[in-house]
A and B are shown apart, each in its own frame.
Chain A
Amino acid sequence: MNVVAIGLDVLREARHRYWLVALAAAITLILIVLGVTLQLDVVDGALASTRLFGAVVGTGDTSADIFFHSVFKATTYVIFYGGLLFGIVACSDFAPSLLSPGRIESLLALPVRRWELLAGTFAGVLSLSVAGALYGAGGLTLVLGLKTGIWSIRPIAASLLASVAFAAVYGTMLVTSLFVRSAAISAAVGGMLLIAGIVAGYRTTIATAFQQGFGRSAFLGFTFILPRISALADASANFASSAADQTPFSPLLAGFLFFVAGMLAIGAWKFEQRDF
């Protein structure tokens, strides 16, 4: 219960953040523009023509399904990586402000356990991410569905996978803040984890650039523990587009959840140790 209360407190605070308001406005604007300007003529399941701002950008009897698979795939990548980048920047100072002198003492004076404070902050930020992803992907699905009559829940599900990736990144940022109370360092670590996670997703391919021996083993060892962000992005894009090569990604997803839980456990350990 305490976790939920703290999470709601984080959401209340987020309402006053310029960045998050800007994100909501930007998503809304894009959806409105697409809703007003995009004109898709679907005849008997085939895309007869596509108009954007009145100009014809595509003609012919492309199957509407195939067209939407590509659109969903591209959208998933944009939501995935765009959302991650935006989330890293916008949420980097939540944890440092929670730990700021004056505020943390008052929070610790409440009948709340330290790990609940941590989990509540994490849950609050994560719910922001989920809401953003659902709003963007849901809005797009709605626009395309209304215009073509083709409805798919897959882009929405794929956008939730992006939130799982953000959970891994934000969990690390939150733990970083417990070691160094700095929004800049927290964002930098988040950015580095994003890049490292993209590399980790292709680790077995990249490893071949190293010759057998210490270099390759060190690279594989280092990337072994990292969340495979690019692998999850590819999996969610394939899922959204109903691609033929649907490899089961449940172990990957479970791995991310374990990573997040592990990070929060490190955070709880550090939080318990600190004196305020």
Chain B
Amino acid sequence: MKLRQRKLGWLFAALLLMVAGAFLMGRGEPSASARHRTVSFPRAPRAEEIRRMRDRQIPTSVVAATHGNPIKSGDPLLAALPRAGKTALVIEANAIRHSPIGELLIQCFAREGGNVFEQARDSSGIDWLTDLDRVAISEEGVIVSGDFKNARWDRLPSWLSGDGSPHSYGSHGVAYSEAFTEAPAEGGSSRPEQALGRWGDQMVVIAKSAGQLRGIFDRLDGRGRNEPPAISEEMTYGEIYGLLTGDALVEFLPGDQIGFIDLLRRAAPRIELHVDTTEDVAIFAHVRGGDRAQLRDLEKAIAGLLSAGRLQAQIGNDTVLQELLDLARVVSRSDGFDLELALPLPFLQKQLATCGHAGAKDAQQPVR
């Protein structure tokens, strides 16, 4: 028994000595790279977002009683979007306006331009800080939802309104485009000119063509083909969310990255994006595709780029880039991979602190 205890004593002493040695050797080591800062990424809808989804549903009974049209229940903005498989992105403008980054940006605008929001309100009747709810961007154009009952439709710029005479379309559609007609032109689509329209006082639509504006109105009235929209209701979490196709994404990449662009185009036909701005700006992208091998190649390529960037930032002593890339990571999933990127609030505060420095006094005034 005594011999056994002595043997175990050696082992115990070894453990203690090794741990003590490791701690001593670790003293004086730079610890910055080992630091872990927790950022909450939008991976699933939170309780308030589920509530928000529910509140945006138009009950079928109310719709039918009010309009007598076959409008389907659901979120009207989502219904207005192109059909599944197309690029579409929704920005929760009102939520972002009340988020920390929103406040920072407004203060920045206030310092730089003085009363840019007031000027916009006076000229258009729309208060961009209170009347806007969401902005949806798709291949067909831009849809802005909110409360536009005070909008001055008679003061539209000529490049948007054309002849300025409104054309009613469907239950609530009003088009301000010269090229817009009640029925599609015979033998072809409408001219590819920007077309402005509104759907009641709830939505403003800037479509790439009059034909696309008509298509959006049709979908809002429930006349379109019965296909799911580009963004499903389950995807409406975060302050920015949507679906990007690989083709749409490569337009934002530098042209010299031919190999990477080609891989991205082939491997990732669908990228689901969610951005949370409740505290830090946390960007979460779920990359999916049919070819698992190509997806894995893309995953490795992105992870490699991030890894090389982190090392380069460390060697170059670029603490800003180091901090940002340290929060970026690629997480492998059974159906693809997730990409997480973050802009921490302290970093944003630091970056935007110098914005419009000359008028810094204005920034102290509260923004409505």
User: Does chain B have a CB within 8 A of A9?
Assistant: no
A63 to B79, CA, bound (A): 80
Nearest-Cβ distance from residue B39 to partner chain A, whole angstroms:
10
User: Does chain A have a CB within 8 A of B307?
Assistant: yes
Q: With A211-B329, A269-B7 given, is the CB distance from A258 to B17 under 8 Å?
A: yes
A252 — which chain B residues lie within 8 A by C-beta? Answer: 24-25, 27-28
> Contact mask A224-263 → B, CB, 8 Å, 1/0?
1101100100000000000000011001101111110111
A224 — which chain B residues lie within 8 A by C-beta? Answer: 22, 26
| 8 A Cβ contacts from B323-341 to A | 326-331
A212 contacts B329, C-beta separation under 8 Å = yes
Interface stretch of the complex, out of B8-16, B42-50, B117-125, B343-351: B8-16
Interface stretch of the complex, out of A45-53, A135-143, A183-191, A199-207: A199-207
| 8 A Cβ contacts from B305-327 to A | 306-308, 310-311, 313-315, 322, 326-327
User: Does chain A have a CB within 8 A of B6?
Assistant: yes
A256 contacts B34, C-beta separation under 8 Å = no
A196 — which chain B residues lie within 8 A by C-beta? Answer: none
B28 contacts A247, C-beta separation under 8 Å = yes
A227 — which chain B residues lie within 8 A by C-beta? Answer: 21, 25
A205 to B316, CA, bound (A): 12
Q: With A256-B21, A258-B21 given, is the CB distance from A266 to B310 under 8 Å?
A: no
A228 to B269, CA, bound (A): 46
| 8 A Cβ contacts from B96-128 to A | none
A209 contacts B303, C-beta separation under 8 Å = no
B326 contacts A212, C-beta separation under 8 Å = yes
> Contact mask A108-131 → B, CB, 8 Å, 1/0?
000000010000000000000000
Candidate in B8, B15, B34 with the most chain A CB atoms within 10 angstroms:
B34
B23 — which chain A residues lie within 8 A by C-beta? Answer: 255
Q: With A252-B24, A256-B21, A256-B25 given, is the CB distance from A269 to B307 under 8 Å?
A: no
> Contact mask A207-227 → B, CB, 8 Å, 1/0?
111111100100010001101
B34 contacts A207, C-beta separation under 8 Å = yes
User: Does chain B have a CB within 8 A of A272?
Assistant: yes
Q: With A208-B310, A251-B27, A256-B25 given, is the CB distance from A266 to B14 under 8 Å?
A: yes
Nearest-Cβ distance from residue A249 to partner chain B, whole angstroms:
8
Find the A residue at minimum CB distance from B325: A208
Find the A residue at minimum CB distance from B39: A212
Find the A residue at minimum CB distance from B25: A255
Partner of A263, one of B14, B30, B329, B331: B14
Q: With A207-B33, A211-B303 given, is the CB distance from A262 to B21 under 8 Å?
A: yes
User: Does chain B have a CB within 8 A of A106?
Assistant: no
User: Does chain A have a CB within 8 A of B182?
Assistant: no
A251 to B329, CA, bound (A): 34
Find the B residue at minimum CB distance from A205: B314
B6 — which chain A residues lie within 8 A by C-beta? Answer: 272
Nearest-Cβ distance from residue A32 to partner chain B, whole angstroms:
38
Nearest-Cβ distance from residue B104 to partner chain A, whole angstroms:
25
A262 contacts B15, C-beta separation under 8 Å = yes
A273 — which chain B residues lie within 8 A by C-beta? Answer: 7
User: Does chain B have a CB within 8 A of A268?
Assistant: yes
A272 to B9, CA, bound (A): 11
Partner of B29, one of A204, A258, A272: A204
Find the A residue at minimum CB distance from B24: A255
User: Does chain B have a CB within 8 A of A98?
Assistant: no
- Count of residues in B whose CB is under 8 Å from the partner chain: 45
A272 to B10, CA, bound (A): 9
A247 to B31, CA, bound (A): 16
A251 to B22, CA, bound (A): 10
B25 — which chain A residues lie within 8 A by C-beta? Answer: 227-228, 231, 251-252, 255-256, 259
Find the A residue at minimum CB distance from B308: A209
A135 to B72, CA, bound (A): 91
User: Does chain B have a CB within 8 A of A64?
Assistant: no
B13 — which chain A residues lie within 8 A by C-beta? Answer: 262, 265
A161 to B228, CA, bound (A): 71
A231 — which chain B residues lie within 8 A by C-beta? Answer: 25, 29
A156 to B267, CA, bound (A): 60
A254 contacts B322, C-beta separation under 8 Å = no
Partner of B24, one of A204, A251, A269: A251
User: Does chain A have a CB within 8 A of B32?
Assistant: yes
Find the B residue at minimum CB distance from A232: B25
Find the A residue at minimum CB distance from B315: A205
B16 — which chain A residues lie within 8 A by C-beta? Answer: 262
Q: With A211-B330, A272-B6 given, is the CB distance from A259 to B18 under 8 Å?
A: yes
A224 to B10, CA, bound (A): 21
B17 contacts A265, C-beta separation under 8 Å = yes
User: Does chain A have a CB within 8 A of B20?
Assistant: yes
A273 to B329, CA, bound (A): 47
A231 to B28, CA, bound (A): 11
| 8 A Cβ contacts from B184-219 to A | none
B311 — which chain A residues lie within 8 A by C-beta? Answer: 205, 208-209
Nearest-Cβ distance from residue B285 to partner chain A, whole angstroms:
15
Nearest-Cβ distance from residue B287 to partner chain A, whole angstroms:
15
User: Does chain A have a CB within 8 A of B36?
Assistant: yes
B18 contacts A225, C-beta separation under 8 Å = yes
B27 — which chain A residues lie within 8 A by C-beta? Answer: 251-252, 255
Q: With A204-B34, A266-B11 given, is the CB distance from A210 to B24 under 8 Å?
A: no
| Interface positions of A (Cβ within 8 A of B) | 115, 203-205, 207-213, 216, 220, 224-225, 227-228, 231, 247-248, 251-252, 254-259, 261-263, 265-266, 268-269, 272-273
Interface contacts beyond A204-B31, A211-B329, A251-B25: sample of 11 additional A-B pairs, CB < 8 Å, sorted by A: A208-B322, A228-B25, A251-B24, A254-B24, A255-B22, A255-B23, A255-B27, A258-B20, A262-B16, A263-B14, A265-B14
